[in-house]
Amino acid sequence: MSTVPTTCDLLIHSGDVIDGTGVARAHLDVAVTGDRIVAVGDHLDLRIDATSKIDASGLIVAPGFIDAHTHDDRAVLSGPDMTPKVSQGVTSVVTGNCGASLAPFAGREPPPPMNLLGDASWYRFPTMREYMEAVEASPPALNLAPLVGHTALRAATMDDVYRAATAAEIARMETLLDEALEAGCIGMSTGLAYPPAVEAPTDEVVTLASRLGARGGIYATHMRDEGTGILDSVRETLEIGERAGVPVVISHHKCSGRESWGLSRETLATIAHARAKQSVNLDVYPYVASSTVLLVDWIAGAERVLVTWSASHPELNGRDFEGIRAEWGCSVEEAVERLSPAGAIYFKMDEEDLQRILRFQDAMIGSDGLPHDTFPHPRLWGTFPRVLGHYCRELGLFPLEEAVHRMTGVTARVFGLTGRGTIRTGGLADIVLFDPDRITDEADFSAPTRQARGIYQVIVNGKQVWRGGEWTGARPGRILRREQAED
């Protein structure tokens, strides 16, 4: 037992602590001084003199949630309050997913899916170090752990990204990747399903991913095919991980399109089998619709498509794509052409697959929210409360301790976020207080930006950032670097 201090800055008392490791909750008090948890124990309120106190009676005290999959690279700069995330209890986000990171790339129009983060005016960082310095000069309310995007590396080094890279281009990408890893990036992501990166052969990815191995980086991938070819894509992902000697994370695992429904049985069995010899994990969001750029190929097989943003027709944001096409009396191709660049929500998944993936051992929760969409997918505002409320409390998919574990302890371990993801003495004080009986996602496909219910307080690095249903104004967020991880 560590010795209990006699004083602390903040004492959270009378709550039920779910510590993020998966073990059963316990009625404990948590003492915080500076950015650290300095004691966790029984009746600390009788032993410690606290500068301020929070009565957590009837509430769960848990590690702040870690969003395993985000596109918040620009949001942390343009909306430092990070309300869509903090309001859900999120205290750290993994950025730079799907091959799209805000650095290293500057000065030109970004290819998809980088255009989901913004147009050329937002791409100002020729190196990852410059991006990180900009974030640290104007920090957000929560922490971020950046990945560097493969598509960004390609866009920065190739005159035409719609082809395989040459040896010379790959060498330039390696230099930029090394720089990003030295700056502290936790790994690299790919978006192999998207038009530019789909041209990258497996070997190109293996060469780059091999740079991660020596530095303990991770490889996260939006796989080449999430439809009928998904098993081949899982095998390619495992091959990349094995040949490059890196842990892999399969991003937003799903079976997209009716013909692929049910394939999660095989993908998950393959992943479970591979775990005997390599590190492989996945993240998932709790919805049966996906969201990304509007592309002709991805409309095929969707039960329904909603337009989330359109540069040329902003008045149509939130409308049904088929309704727009019918009104215009044109083909799908022409309607896409007229709306582009644009984003969409695609209803293409099956609830059974979703629940099977959510239940999979150590499946991490990641929102994949798109913070700059005018009419976003509700996952941006609702992911974490939806897992805790709908899937855990209402459907009983897993115990609350397990749900929290997949949002905290597992994610910190997989991404190497030392000192985060658990409530323990000596750990960093990222903490959420929520009501297990009330927590509910309020955002849906018709009102996608409604704030969730049941989150009472959110603390980042020991500072209260969310209280009484609003941002406190505090911006204690940090960049969580791989090599200078705090412990």
Are residues 275 and 246 in contact, defined by beta-carbon separation less than 8 angstroms? no
Per CB under 5 A, which region of 93-101, 329-337, 358-366, 418-426 contacts Zn ion? 93-101
Residues 178-217, mask of contacts with Zn ion (x by CB under 5 A)? ----------------------------------------
CB atoms within 10 A of CB 328: 12
The CB-of-381 to Zn ion minimum distance in angstroms stands at 18
Beta strands at 280-284 and 364-365: parallel, antiparallel or unpaired: parallel
What is d(CA 219, CA 223) in angstroms, rounded to the nearest whole number? 11
DSSP E strands in 233-383: the ranges are 248-250, 280-284, 289-293, 304-310, 342-347, 364-365
Q: Which is nearer to Zn ion, 368 or 441 (CB)?
A: 368
The minimum distance between CB 282 and Zn ion, in angstroms, equals: 12
Comparing CB distances to Zn ion, the nearer of 17 and 299 is 299
- Token digits of residue 368: 């994949």
Which residue, 16 or 226, is less far from Zn ion as judged by CB? Answer: 226
Query: Considering only 16-24, 97-105, 173-181, 280-288, which stretch makes contact with Zn ion by CB under 5 A?
Result: 97-105
Minimum CB–partner distance for residue 308 and Zn ion (Å): 14
| Closer CB to Zn ion, 116 or 432, in the complex | 116
What whole-number distance in Å separates Cα of residue 472 and Cα of residue 92?
A: 17
Label residue 326 exposed, middle or buried (CB < 10 Å: 0-12, 13-18, 19+): exposed
Residue 93 or 98: which CB sits closer to Zn ion? 98
- Order of strands across the sheet that contains 65-67: 65-67, 90-95, 143-149, 187-191, 218-222, 248-250, 280-284, 364-365
Closer residue to Zn ion (CB): 22 or 113: 113
Q: What type of residue sits at position 72?
A: D
Choices 23-31, 94-102, 259-267, 419-427 (CB under 5 A): range interacting with Zn ion: 94-102
Closer to Zn ion by Cβ: residue 33 or 256: 256
Among residues 250 and 474, whose Cβ is nearest to Zn ion? 250
Of the ranges 104-112, 218-226, 241-249, 351-359, which one interacts with Zn ion (CB under 5 A)?
A: 218-226
User: Which of 98/480 has CB closer to Zn ion?
Assistant: 98
Residue in 71, 85, 150, 222 binding Zn ion, rule: CB under 5 A: 222
Q: Could you tell me if 64 and 89 are in contact, meaning their C-beta atoms sit under 8 angstroms apart?
A: yes
Judged by CB under 5 A, the chain residues 224 through 283 that form the site for Zn ion are none
Task: Single out the segment in contact with Zn ion by CB under 5 A; choices: 162-170, 219-227, 262-270, 468-476.
Answer: 219-227
Residue position matching structure tokens 């727009």:
324
Instruction: Please report how close the Cβ of residue 277 comes to Zn ion at its closest, in angstroms.
Output: 26
- Examine residue 377 and tell whether it contacts Zn ion (CB under 5 A): no
N residues, the chain: 487
In whole angstroms, what separates CA 394 from the centre of its chain? Answer: 24
The stretch near Zn ion (CB under 5 A) out of 73-81, 98-106, 134-142, 415-423 is 98-106
Rounded CA-CA distance 404/19 in Å is 8
Residues 6+ apart with CB under 8 A from 106: 123, 124, 125, 126, 156
User: Which is nearer to Zn ion, 295 or 460 (by Cβ)?
Assistant: 295
**Rounded least distance, CB 251 to Zn ion, Å:** 5
Q: Which residues have C-beta within 8 Å of that of residue 394, sequence separation ≥ 6? A: none
From the list 98, 135, 339, 365, which residue makes contact with Zn ion (rule: CB under 5 A)?
98
Binding-site size for Zn ion (CB under 5 A) equals 2
Asked whether the beta carbons of 431 and 15 are under 8 A apart, the reply is no
The CB-of-100 to Zn ion minimum distance in angstroms stands at 8
Where does this chain bind Zn ion (CB under 5 A)? 98, 222
